Amino acid sequence: MSSVLTLISSMATRHLLAALAQAHTQTGAPGVHLQSVGGVDAARRVQDGERFDVVVLASDAIAKLLATGRLQPGSMRAIADSSVAIAVRSGSTPPDVSSEAALRATLLQARSIGYSTGPSGTALLQLFERWGLADTLKDRLVQARPGVPVGQLVAGGDVEIGFQQLSELMDLGGITLLAMPPELDIVSRFSGAVLANATQPAAAQALLDFMASPATETLKRQHGMRAVPAMH
């Protein structure tokens, strides 16, 4: 019997990966031990040589690890795309975020803005830079600690409005979710790869191939993500 595969990931994909791993195991494949931590921490541990079979992170982080030789060339698979959602506290009057101009005006009026340490947070800060509002908003920004959902800060009243992957927000209580304006959709792509020091590289690659397959699209949608378009 094959040993259990080890997989490390960022927090944003933990629920989806657990469901995908379970579905894969039900086909007779090896079980999977999933460890989800902050994305920066996960990348550092892989870079430091810690032994895992598979890593799943934002695609740019996977590309950097490939470039340093920590991952097996050719093993990278695009697993899911994830859009950012907006969270406000339940019971509050939802702000107007229907257009870029409306969202900009809402944020200028907000007393505090929550964002994450992950790719969605980076993209949000880039948006503020593009708007020329980085300096104006910087004193109102509250970054959630790694592993802490931004929605938790919103629900607790620590921030007035928050931004994070839909998958991180959709199951939290105490918040109301709003969609980003269509023209400002922030999408993060999560990919996986087999580690160069994997103990079960073939089984690890089979797991990634399954996770990237069209057969898993329904599970991805159930967890607030979507399949990567076939052209990729």
What are 152-162's pLDDT values in tens digits?
Answer: 999 999 999 99
Rounded to whole angstroms, the Cα distance separating 12 from 195 reads: 20
In a domain, 173, yes or no: yes
Q: DSSP state, 98?
A: S
- Are the CB atoms for 157 and 130 separated by under 8 Å? no
Q: Digits of tens for pLDDT over the chain (232 positions)?
A: 458 999 999 988 999 999 999 999 999 999 999 999 988 899 999 999 999 999 999 999 999 999 999 999 999 999 999 999 999 999 999 999 999 999 999 999 999 999 998 888 999 999 999 999 999 999 999 999 987 889 999 999 999 999 999 988 998 999 999 999 999 999 999 999 999 999 999 999 999 999 999 999 999 999 999 999 876 4
Q: Which residues contact 88 (CB under 8 A, 6 or more apart)?
A: 94, 95, 154, 160, 161, 162, 175, 176, 178
In a domain, 232, yes or no: no
pLDDT at 119: 84
pLDDT at 2: 56
Crossing angle of the two packed helices 201-211 and 14-25, in degrees rounded to 10: 110
In a domain, 231, yes or no: no
Question: Which residue do the tokens 């791993």 mark?
Answer: 21
pLDDT at 1: 42
In a domain, 229, yes or no: no
Rounded to whole angstroms, the Cα distance separating 130 from 126 reads: 6
Domain containing residue 92: 82-184
Same-domain status, 161 and 194: no
In a domain, 90, yes or no: yes
Same-domain status, 90 and 179: yes
DSSP 5-28: EEEEEEGGGHHHHHHHHHHHHTTT
In a domain, 227, yes or no: no
Same-domain status, 89 and 148: yes
Radius of gyration of the chain (CA): 18
Question: Which residue do the tokens 């607030």 mark?
Answer: 224
Number of domains in the chain: 2
pLDDT at 148: 86
Report the CATH number that the domain containing residue 31 is assigned in CATH. 3.40.190.10
pLDDT at 39: 87
Same-domain status, 107 and 195: no
Same-domain status, 86 and 179: yes
- Are the CB atoms for 53 and 2 separated by under 8 Å? no
Same-domain status, 89 and 170: yes
pLDDT at 59: 95
Rounded to whole angstroms, the Cα distance separating 91 from 160 reads: 12
Same-domain status, 109 and 52: no
Q: Where are the alpha helices (DSSP H) in 26-155?
A: 39-47, 59-67, 100-109, 119-131, 134-137, 150-155
Same-domain status, 14 and 35: yes
Rounded to whole angstroms, the Cα distance separating 68 from 49 reads: 11
In a domain, 201, yes or no: yes
pLDDT at 232: 43
DSSP 178-213: EEPPGGG--EEEEEEEEBTT-S-HHHHHHHHHHHTS
pTM reported for the whole predicted model: 0.86
Same-domain status, 135 and 93: yes
Same-domain status, 211 and 175: no
Same-domain status, 89 and 140: yes
pLDDT at 3: 87
Same-domain status, 117 and 133: yes
In a domain, 147, yes or no: yes
What are 97-134's pLDDT values in tens digits?
Answer: 999 999 999 999 999 999 998 888 999 999 999 999 99
